Amino acid sequence: MIAKMKKLTFLIYHKEYESFLQDLREVGVVHIVERKSGEIEGQLQGFIQKRNSYKALLQNMLRYADQVDPKVEKSLSGDEIINRYESIQAMIQASQQRLVTVQKDLAQMKVWGQFDWARIRQLEEMGWLMNFYTCAERQFDESWEEAYHAITIHREGGRVYFVTVTKEPVELDAEKVVLPSMSLLQLEAEKSKIEAEIQEHMENLRQFCNATVSTCKYVAARLQEDLDMEQVKLNGERLAEGSVLLLEGWVPEENEQTVLDMLESRSIYYEVRGAEKEDNAPIKLKNNAFVRMYEVLTKMYGMPDYGEFDPTPILAPFFSLFFAFCMGDAGYGLILIALGFLLKKKMSKSMAGMMNLVITLGIFTTVFGAVLGTFFGVSLFDVELPQWMKGLMITGKIDGTNYDKQMLLALIIGVVHICLAMTVKAVCSTVRYGFKASLSAWGWLLLVVGFICTGGLSFFEVISAEVTNWAFIVIGGISAIGIYLLNDFHRNIFANIGAGVWDTYNMATGLLGDTLSYIRLYALGLAGGMLGGVFNQLAFMVNDAAGPVLGWIFCGLILVFGHALNIAMSCLSAFVHPLRLTFVEYFKNSGYEGKGEAYKPFSVMKSNNE
C-alpha cells in the first residue's frame, strides 16, 4: 500500500536557514520539493562534477581492491586519494608504453638474432661498414654476395633479411633497416625488467586501493551530503527581498509528530495539510515482509501516482506463481532454496534481501513443481507414490479431449489475472475520478466477468440454457449502456457510441492476445521439464554404455552439468516472461501508469564505515 503523506510548508528567517536545514536533515524523514530551474543546475555543476569524479574513482578502485579494510583512515583527504591513485596509474601507463616499444623492438630483433653491437663498432673502427637490408626473395641478387659480401641472416614470409660488409657506402635495390641500439639479450632483459615494474606498480595499486577504498567511500558519502545540502538550499524560495525563505516538503503521516516536535523546539512557522490526489506527492510503499520483497519489481516499472493503488500486493503472489509455473520442477525449487540460504550468509545486508526473494521463489517452485508432477526432469506421476498424492497432481490430458491440463491451467490463471486487472482499473478509476467517470470501465468488467461466470455455470450445467441466454442478454445490455452511451458525460451520444465501438475493437483483439500470452507459462514449464528428462536419459545411456565405474562418473557429470545449465536457462526465462506478463498484460489492463516520484527523505547518509 501507499503510505499517507502530509505536506509541510516552512517560512524561515534567512540567517537561520542553514542551521534549520541541518536539524531537518538530522530528523531524516522530510522529502524536499525541488524547484526546477537552470539557476539550480548552474550552481550545482561543480558539486555534480566532483561527485561524478568520485563515483568513477570508486568504481575503478573496487576493480583492484580484493581485501578491503573496513576501517576508515582519514589521514588522506579525498583529493590526496585521487592524486595518489592517478599518480600510480600514470606510472603503470608509462611502463606499459615502454613495454610496447620494447616488444616492438624485440620482434624486430628476433629476425636478426643475437649479436654484439660492440663488435659492429669495432668493424667500423677498422674501416668496414655493416648495413642491414630486407627485400623480397625475387629481388635478391646473388651477385651481392661476392660484390658486397652480402650474408643472408633469415628468410621468412617471402622476404630475405641480409647484411652487407663494405669499405664504402653502397646503394642496393633493397630496403635498408634501422635496428634498435640494444641487442636481443638486452631487449629481453629490459622487457623482463619493465614487466616486473608493472607488477610492482599493480601490487602497489592493489594495496593502496585496499587501504583507501573505505576512506573514498566515506569521502564520497560526505560529498553527497554536501551536494544534497546545496540542492536543498537552492530549493528555498526567497520572499520579502530575501529575508525569508519558503520551503516545501513531504513527510509520511507516521513520522509527522517527529518533525513537529523539532519545529516546535525551533519556533519555526509552518503549515501542515494532508496530501491530495492532484498534489503528486512522493510515494513511499508500506507493505508486509512478504510483499516488500517484490517492491523492487514495481520500482523497475515505475512508482505509482499518489492517487493510484500500489500494485505490489497483487504482483507478489502472481509473479511467484508465474515463476514457479515457468520453472515447473520441484527439484529445481529445492536448489533455489539451498542456493538462497548459502548466498545469504556471504552477501551484504542489502543483497541478503534479494536472497530472501530467491528462497521464496524456490518455495513456490517446489510446491508448484510437485503439483505439476516433475522432480529433476522425472515425472512423479510415473513413480510409485500414494494415489492421493497423484490425485493432487495436474498432469495429462483432459478426459475425452486432446487438451493438456497444464495448458488449460495457464489459460485459467491468465483469465483470472486479467479479470483482476480490470477490477483494479474500475475501482481505482472510481476512487480517483468518481463513479460517473468510470462507467465504461465498470461496463467492460461486468461484460467480461459476467460472460465468463455465466459461461462457466452453463458449461457445468449449474444453470439451464434458457437462463444462460437471458443472463447473456441482461449482462450485455447493462454493459452496453456504460460502454457505448455513458462512457463520457461531456460528449454527445454519437461521439460516445463511436468511442465505444473503437474500444470494442481494441478490447476484442487485445484481450484475446493477452489471454493467449499466458500459454507461455505452460510452454516454458514443459520445455524445462522435457530438457531435464533428456539429460536424465542421456546420463543413464552413457552409464549403461561405459561400464560400472566410468559410467557412474560420466553419468554424474552429465546430470550435474545438464541440470545446472537447465536451471540457469529456466531461471532466466522464469524471471523475464512473468515480468512481461505483469508489465504488459496486467499493467495495461489495470490502467497502471507508474509515473510517481519515489520518496527520498533529506537525511544524513548512512555509511557502513560509521
- Cell 525541488 belongs to 34
Q: Average of pLDDT values for 513-540?
A: 87
Asked if residues 235 and 41 have their Cβ atoms less than 8 Å apart, the reply is: no
- In degrees and rounded to multiples of 5, residue 164 shows phi and psi of -125, 145
What are the residues facing 14 on neighbouring strands? Answer: none
Is 548 strand, coil or helix? helix
Asked if residues 263 and 270 have their Cβ atoms less than 8 Å apart, the reply is: yes
Number of residues that this document lists for the chain: 610
The model's pLDDT over 91-142, given as tens digits with 9 standing for 90+, comes to 999 999 999 999 999 998 998 988 888 988 999 898 999 999 999 999 999 9
Catalogue the E-assigned strands of 368-484.
Answer: 374-375, 378-379
Residue 273 CB partners (closer than 8 Å, separation 6+): 6, 7
Q: Give the span between the Cα atoms of 248 and 271, in whole angstroms.
A: 10
Q: Give the span between the Cα atoms of 417 and 593, in whole angstroms.
A: 18
Q: Give the span between the Cα atoms of 211 and 198, in whole angstroms.
A: 20
The H or E element that residue 244 is part of is strand 244-252
More confident residue, 500 or 419: 419
Q: Is the pLDDT of residue 321 over 60?
A: yes
- Cell 522464469 belongs to 574
Q: Is the pLDDT of residue 73 over 60?
A: no
Q: Is the pLDDT of residue 37 over 60?
A: no
Region of poorest pLDDT, from 80-84, 512-516, 589-593: 80-84
Asked if residues 428 and 309 have their Cβ atoms less than 8 Å apart, the reply is: yes
Most trustworthy range by pLDDT among 31-45, 48-62, 318-332: 318-332
Alpha-helix runs per DSSP H in 248-378: 256-266, 289-292, 295-301, 312-327, 330-344, 349-372
At 609 the pLDDT is 41
- Cell 520441484 belongs to 330
At 21 the pLDDT is 87
The model's pLDDT over 565-587, given as tens digits with 9 standing for 90+, comes to 999 999 999 999 999 999 988 88
Kindly report the average pLDDT of the chain as a whole number.
84
- Cell 552409464 belongs to 543
Asked if residues 367 and 333 have their Cβ atoms less than 8 Å apart, the reply is: yes
Query: Which three cell numbers mark 86?
Result: 592517478
The model's pLDDT over 260-280, given as tens digits with 9 standing for 90+, comes to 888 888 777 888 888 887 788
At 610 the pLDDT is 40
At 406 the pLDDT is 87
Handedness of CA 371, 375, 377, 379 (dihedral sign): negative
Q: Give the span between the Cα atoms of 196 and 574, in whole angstroms.
A: 49
Band of residue 314 on the pLDDT scale cut at 50, 70, 90: very high
State the helix-helix crossing angle for 349-372 and 330-344, rounded to 10 degrees: 170
Asked if residues 48 and 227 have their Cβ atoms less than 8 Å apart, the reply is: yes
Asked if residues 150 and 162 have their Cβ atoms less than 8 Å apart, the reply is: yes
At 99 the pLDDT is 93
More confident residue, 266 or 530: 530
Is 374 strand, coil or helix? strand
Q: Please report, rounded to a whole number, the percentage of residues in the chain having pLDDT higher than 70.
A: 93
Q: What is the 3-state secondary structure (H, E, C) of 484-518?
A: HHCCCCCCCHHHHHHHHHHHHHHHHHHHHHHHHHC
Contacts of 430-437 with CB under 8 Å at 24 or more apart are: 431/307, 432/277, 432/307, 432/308, 436/486, 436/489, 437/488, 437/489
Q: Is the pLDDT of residue 38 over 90?
A: no
Q: Is the pLDDT of residue 15 over 50?
A: yes
Measured from the Cβ of residue 303, the count of other Cβ atoms closer than 10 Å reads 21
At 68 the pLDDT is 55
Q: Is the pLDDT of residue 598 over 80?
A: yes
Asked if residues 109 and 85 have their Cβ atoms less than 8 Å apart, the reply is: no
Q: Give the span between the Cα atoms of 8 and 27, in whole angstroms.
A: 14
- Cell 520442477 belongs to 329
Q: Is the pLDDT of residue 492 over 80?
A: no
- Amino acid identity, position 290: F
At 152 the pLDDT is 93
The model's pLDDT over 420-436, given as tens digits with 9 standing for 90+, comes to 998 988 888 888 778 88
Contacts of 122-130 with CB under 8 Å at 24 or more apart are: 123/165, 127/167, 128/165, 128/166, 128/167, 129/164, 129/165, 129/166, 129/167, 129/168, 129/169, 130/163, 130/164, 130/165
At 42 the pLDDT is 55
Which pairing describes strands 129-136 and 269-274: parallel, antiparallel, or unpaired? Answer: unpaired
Q: Is the pLDDT of residue 47 over 80?
A: no
- Report DSSP state, residue 239: E
Q: Please report, rounded to a whole number, the percentage of residues in the chain having pLDDT higher than 90.
A: 21
Q: Average of pLDDT values for 175-204?
A: 91
At 67 the pLDDT is 59
At 608 the pLDDT is 45
Contacts of 425-429 with CB under 8 Å at 24 or more apart are: 425/589, 425/590, 425/591, 427/309, 428/308, 428/309, 428/590, 428/591, 429/591
At 10 the pLDDT is 87
At 195 the pLDDT is 93
Query: Which three cell numbers mark 441?
Result: 470501465
**414, exposed or middle or buried, with CB in 10 Å at 0-12, 13-18, 19+?**
buried
Asked if residues 454 and 475 have their Cβ atoms less than 8 Å apart, the reply is: yes
